[in-house]
Each structure stands twice: as structure tokens, then as C-alpha cells.
Structure 1
Amino acid sequence: MSTAGITIGVLSLITVLSVMNGFEGQLKGRILGVLPQAIVSDVSGKTVRTEHPPEFIANLPHLVKSVPVVSSEAVLQSPDHLAAGQLVGIEGSRDEPLRQFMLSGSVDSLEQGKYHLLIGHSLARTLQVKKGDKVRLMVTSTSQYSPIGRIPSQRNFTVSGIFNTGSDVDGQLMVANIEDAGRLLKMNSKQMSGWRLYLDDPFAVSQLATMPLDKGWTWQDWRAQRGELFQAVKMEKSMMGLMLGLIVGVAAFNIISALIMVVMEKQAEVAILKTQGMTKQQVMGIFVVQGASSGVVGAVFGGILGVVLASNLNSILQALGVSLYTYGGQLPILIEYQQVLLVVGLAVCLSVIATLYPSYRAASVKPAEALRYE
């Protein structure tokens, strides 16, 4: 029963952690793949646009590439509704991450001077607009004087495409050509907001943010807008792991209780072995091996079964007729084998530790007292 308990605990822990890893990876790809992961800009807010980034940016660790970007908070207005979000001006390169999420239209439609705009499907639904409709884009960070006072910089744009990342980004992100967005922000062709950094690991921003920059440069990253979301996912993952880890803890206590029962039953046999010359360490070794074998077998079997279950979880759910998504989607599964080895290793260590007290009790048996009534 102890072995079965550890097997079930390790199996459950690996399966749930694999699903949580999948959700975290999907969020990382869908949100941080589309939003700027980090922007290094001049403190003035208007960075000189050059062909290549400064040397200190090019030498940053974890950097995959850096491209010019224009970014600002903006308000989008349709004939009937109003919504706020983030405006990002891009060059529309061939490897632009947004391309894989397009529902209609194309990133290539963002031609300079056409004033085209790509928006998420949630934002399109809120504004009740579709491809080809006109919308008014207003930027509150720059304003201009008029007879009625200062008004935000604004211009009509045409919705040329709608994307769907499957996250809340779809209700906030607006993407335009970098030149068109720059004109709206009162920038000339030689200016931009800053250098957009693509990193091999978006979570590396916590390390990069502490690195010194050249004088006159400032750093901002995705944590300002999405830090709380990923912190909540991380905490949920940790709490789920802790709760399921308690199953392994209960199984380890089963090992303790089972071994104590064995020690009580085998006191006479232990006493006979000690009278024949067996040392305390040898007696402890017998019970440690007996108890630890339950943990080792349970942890190894649980690890194997956990990987198999996680790998085939969507197929099993489909066979059982369980649909977790309305439109035939699947659970995102990401098995990290380093994590699997860590779970199995901790289960084995906990099982070995659980045997120490009963084994010590067995080694402390005094032959004379144990055999007094034999």
C-alpha cells in the first residue's frame, strides 16, 4: 500500500505539472511572443533610429535579435464604441510572431502610408468592426492645440486584419506600420520609441533589468503589464505541486508505520541475529533497504506511468468522451524530464528518510529483553 501510495502521488504530480507547464508555455508563446518582451529606449522617449542597435544592446545575454519599434498607449474608436489598449508599430518582417495568429488579413498589409491596422478578435468584437472598416486611433501621450483646447493626436485607420492569440492580448493590442504609428506620435522617419528585444527566454528580463545600461538609456519589459498574470500562474503551479506532494508525504508516513509494525513483530528474530554477531549498522541496513525499496519502486513506476499518462492525456480524454474545450482544442502538455527526475528523486529521498527512525528502533533492540520470554 505504501508503494501504491507513492506511485499514485508521483504519477499525479508529474501529470499535473506537465499540464501546468503546457499552460505556462502557451501563455509565454501567445502573449510574450506578440507583445514586446523588452524595449530599450532613450530617456527622452524618442530614440534615434539607426540601421544597427548600439553595441551594449547587441552584447546583452539571451538576445536573439533587436528591431526598431514604436509603442504607446492608445484609444480606438468605432462609430458606436470606444476601447483603450496598446499601440505597437512594427516593420512587418518575415519572422514577425504575429503572422501565425492571423484570422483574416495579413501582416504584409501594413504598408507605409496606407494607415492600416491589425487588431485582436476580442477588440474587434467590442468595437463591432470587421476587416475593411474605418476606426479612429487616438494617442493621449501626444496632443495638439485646437480652438477648443488641447486634443489628443488622432487619425483614421483602416482595419486590414484580425488576429487571435487565445489570450487577453486580443482585447488590447493594436498593430500598425512603424512609420504610420511614428507620425501619429509626432516622430519623424529617423525616430522611434526604442529597440524591441527578442529573447531566447522571456523570463530572463528579471536578470537583464539589473544590468547597467549606457547613460541616457532606459529599460522597460513585459512585467509592467503582464507580471501579475505570470506570477499568479507560477504561484498556482507551486501550490498545486505542494498539494499533490502531500500525497507522497502520506505514503512516506505509511512506510514509517508499516516498518514500525514489522520491527515490533520481528524483535525476537532481530535479537537472535544480534546474538550471532550482527552489528547495529547491519540491522539498520536491513530495514532501510526494506522500506526504501517501497519508495524506489513506487517512485520509478510513478515516474514512468506519469510520463506515459501525460503524453497520452488528450487521447485518453477523447476516448472517454471528455471535452475540456468547446471547439475541439486540446490540453497543452509540456513534459520537462529534468522536472520528472527531480520529483522521482525527492520521492526516493523522502522514502529513505522515512525508514531511519524505524530502522534505529530495530537496531536498538536488546537481545536479553527481547528473548526473555522466548
Structure 2
Amino acid sequence: MYKPIYIFIGLRYLWNSYLTNFKKIITVLSIIGVSFGISSIIITISLFNGFQNEFKKNILSFIPHLIITNQNYYINELDFPKSILMSKNIQKISSFISSKVLIENKKNISISEIISFKEKNYYPYNIKNILYTLNSKENNIIIGKKLAEKLNIHINDLIKLISFPRNKKNFLINKMNEKTFKVTGFFDTKNKVDNYQILMNSKIALNFLNYHKNYITGWRIWLKDPFDYYINLSKKTKQHLVFLNWQLKEGELFKAIQIEKYIMLLFLILILLIVTFNIAITLTVNMVEKQNIIAILQTQGLCRKKMMLIFITLGLSNVIIGNVLGTLISFILIYEERFLNKLINIFFDNIDITIEIYPFQVFVVNIIFILISMLSTLYPIWNITKSTPSKILSNE
């Protein structure tokens, strides 16, 4: 005798040679529905992972995730909030000097931003071969390539920089400081800072901006996970400090990412609901058709618990087979990235997508699918098996 009997009967109900063509088509369509649902969820999550990683790599790897300063953007280095170092999410900290300036060159004038780092953290700018020109003895600067193109500036050109007073209250009383600098090179980061930033030696910057010794604009902080920012850290530090995170600076872009997350969540919920209804309807049709057999099995001594396990086996078989097929389909499409790019470019022109798949996410999605699908089978199973055999067979 086959043991356990409920698994044997459940698998026989799923597929056997005596099933009619219509029932076979219903079973196949049910499995295809589950596989398409799981594959679309995995591909969508992988696309979002790829977008998020590209965003971190191209934008968040360059701009600071958090800036600590005060309301005047002029702070003593000794006032650094050491309590923030207790956070495990801190990756790198760098002090900096920065200020808005007017840049004047012959017929052109524009607003720019000078920036300097005491620790010489200029590696994101890719200026190793010309970094030596930013020495403390000469008034040399390196400017963004796009800024140079906009103002028609060339290497070795002399340009005038005009700094604004730090104290905005006495803006008209305080004099502006102006000085002539020599352009020794350009940086090209493929980032928007190329449009407005100017690199300068820290000692030259301190002198030009009339900063006192040991005073800086603030600290730039990079986090291990920029999306996991704990804003309440400011409550543990001195109250006069100001915390500016990247979400404020890149507000519109951050809102777009948040909206995309909510749309993806809604999309996943809709797919789960469709698959759940699909399984519930398929299982209900199967049980209504087999209610006479259910009554006969109960009269032969098969308890209600095992009767429920038969149809749980039937429902889970659909889901597990669909999950395996859906996961395989999604893996094939993801690893064949060119095919997926071509498929997307049918609807959207010139879009190069990046896909990142994480096995843990795939495992969690499969488990959630199986659990929700199993829950969707419980009510129809309980409803059909609660009837007594005498009541079912009395209609025959």
C-alpha cells in the first residue's frame, strides 16, 4: 500500500493518464500562471536591485551621504561629534572646506563652488597626474570640464574668484575677497559636480576664505548603506550642529526611488493576489468535481484531516512546480541579459538596464509564494470536507 496515502492520492489528482484533456489544460494553465507570477516578481526585484546599485555606484559613491556642519557653515574641528562614530553604518569621514564663489573669465561670469580636503581625498576626481599642482605655494586650481566648456576656459588661463562674506547678516558691510588663480587642469567625473566645482589646496582655501586656524566648513560622511540613514543620531550630539543627508540634496531623485519602491510593492501584491485566486479557484473546481469521491473515502475510514492533506498536496504541487519553472525562467532571462535588454527596447528605446540577482531574495520570494498559496487552499478544503458523506451521497 502507498504511504502516506494522502500524498499518493493528491499527486494522482494532479496528473494521471486518465485525466481528460480539459482537466490537463486547466492544470497546465494553473502551473504556467504560477511560474509567470514568480518569474515576473524575481525579474522586477532584480531590475530594481540593478538600478539601486548603479545609483549607489554612479551618484552616491561620489557625493557625501551625510554632511555635519553648523548654521554658519564654519566650525572648529574640535567640535566633531565623536558619538556618531558609534554607528556601525559609518564607512568614511572627511573634513572639507567649501564656499560659493563668483568665477570671472574675460567676458564670462558664473557662480561656482570651491572645495578642498585637508586629507587630500581627491581620488574620486581622477586627477592623480595633476594633483601635485594643488600645492600651498601657488594659487592653482583644477575645475570641472563642463564648467570650463561653459565659460570657455583653457589650461593655464588666469581667472578671478570672488568669495562671498560668511556672515549673511552683515553682507553689505563685509567686503568680498577676490584673487586671481591659474587653471592647471580639468576633472571629468561624469557627475553634475563637473558643472560647478573648483578644486583648491586647503591652505590656499583657508587664506582665500579668511578662515581661522583649525576651522573648516564641516565633515563629509559616507555610509555603508546610504539608504539606511538613522536621522535620530543628531539627538545624541550637540544641538547647534546641522545634519544634511543626501536625501535632502537629491530630493527629487530620492522621491522617484521611493515611488518606484511603492509601485513595485503594489505590483508584487497584485501578482500574489492573482496567483492566490488562481490556485483557490482551480482547487475549488477540483474539489466540487470530486466531492462524491471524498464522501466515499470518508465512509471507508479516511479521516477529515487526511482528506484536507490530499488537497493541500494537490494545491502545493501546483505551486512548487510553478515556482521551480518560474525561478528557472527568471534565471535564464537574467543571465541572458542581452535578450532581456532587447525585449525591453521593443517598448523603450536606448535603455541599457543593469540586473542584480540575490539568491536570498529569490528564496524569500519562493517561500512567501508557497505560504500564501497554502493559505489560499485552506478555506475551500475546509468548506468541502465539512459536509457529511450522507449529505453528499443523498443527492445521487
Instruction: State the 1:265 CA deviation.
Output: 0.8
- Which residue matches 1:15? 43
Task: Output the CA distance in 2 between the equivalents of 1:359 and 1:118.
Answer: 73
1:249 alignment partner, one of 273, 276, 279: 273
The secondary structure found in structure 2 opposite 1:203 is coil
User: Whose strand proportion is higher, 1 or 2?
Assistant: 1
2-structure distance, mates of 1:12, 1:74? 50
Aligned to 1:197, what secondary structure does the other structure show? strand
Aligned to 2:12: none
The match for 2:287 is: 263
Comparing 172-181 and 332-341, the one that deviates more: 172-181
The aligned counterpart of 1:235 is 259
Partner of residue 355, structure 1: 377
Q: How many angstroms does 1:43 deviate by?
A: 5.7
Question: Which of residues 362, 365, 368 in structure 1 aligns to 2:390?
Answer: 368
CA 1:169–1:99: 2 relative to 1, 3 Å: closer
Q: Give the conservation status (yes or no) of the 8 Å contact 1:131–1:160.
A: yes
Shift in CA distance, 207/216, structure 1 to aligned 2, threshold 3 Å: closer
* Pair 1:274 & 2:298 matched: yes
Distance 1:76 1:372, change over 3 A: farther
For residue 342 of structure 1, report the CA deviation from its aligned partner: 2.5
1:280-291 counterparts in 2 under 5 A?
280-291=304-315
In the other structure, the counterpart of 1:61 is: 88
2:185 matched to which residue of 1? 160
- Three-state SS of the structure 1 residue aligned to 2:135 is coil
Residues 125 and 187, structure 2, Cα contact 8 Å, conserved in 1: no
Contact 1:63-1:197 within 8 A present in 2 as well = yes
Which of 101, 124, 142 pairs up with 1:98?
Answer: 124
Q: 2:132, 2:122 → 1: CA distance?
A: 10
Listed as ranges, the gaps of 5+ residues in structure 2 are 1-28
Q: Secondary structure at the match of 1:142?
A: coil
**Using a 3 Å threshold, how does the CA distance of structure 1 residues 265 and 138 change in structure 2: closer, same or farther?**
farther
* Structure ID, larger Rg: 2
Deviation at 1:363, TM superposition (A): 1.0
Offset at 1:288?
Answer: 1.7
The question of whether the paired residues in 2 share the 8 Å contact of 1:3 and 1:251 is answered with no
Residue 293 of structure 1 corresponds to 317
Further displaced range: 281-290 or 108-117? 108-117
Deviation at 1:82, TM superposition (A): 5.0
Structure 2 distance, partners of 1:106, 1:298, is 59
Instruction: Provide the rounded CA distance (Å) in 2 between the counterparts of 1:315 and 1:117.
Output: 47
* 2:124 partner letter: L
Q: Distance in 2 between matches of 1:28 and 1:293?
A: 40
Number of residues of Structure 1 aligned to a counterpart in Structure 2: 364
CA contact 2:147–2:196 (8 Å) conserved in 1 = yes
Q: Distance in 2 between matches of 1:344 and 1:267?
A: 31
Counterpart Cα distance in 1 of 2:113 and 2:273:
47
Provide the C-alpha distance between the structure 1 equivalents of 2:105 and 2:323, rounded to a whole number of angstroms: 59
Contact 1:263 1:361 survives alignment (8 Å): no
Q: Which runs of 5+ in 1 are unaligned?
A: none
SS in 1 for 2:229: helix
Per-residue deviation, 1:233: 0.8
Deviation at 1:8, TM superposition (A): 1.4
